[in-house]
Amino acid sequence: MNNKVFTETLEVCHELTDIYQQAKPKNDYLTPANFMKIFCELDDNGQPTGYWKRKKNYGKMYIEKDRLMNKLLEKYDGLVDVTEEGEYIFKDDETRINFLNEKDDLEETIAKKKYIA
Distances (CA, A) of 48 to 1, 5, 34, 59, 109: 20, 21, 10, 9, 25
Q: Give residue 73's Cα distance to chain centre.
A: 19
Contact 90, 99 (CB under 8 A): yes
**3-state SS class at 3:** helix
**H or E segment at 80?**
strand 80-82
Q: Does some domain include residue 48?
A: yes
Say whether pTM exceeds 0.75: no
Residue 30: domain span: 3-52
When divided into structural domains, the chain yields a total of 2
The verdict on 82 and 104 lying in the same domain is: yes
How many whole angstroms separate alpha carbon 15 and alpha carbon 78? 51
pLDDT tens-place string over residues 49-107: 778 888 888 888 888 899 999 999 999 988 888 888 888 889 999 999 999 999 999 99
Same domain for 105 and 63: yes
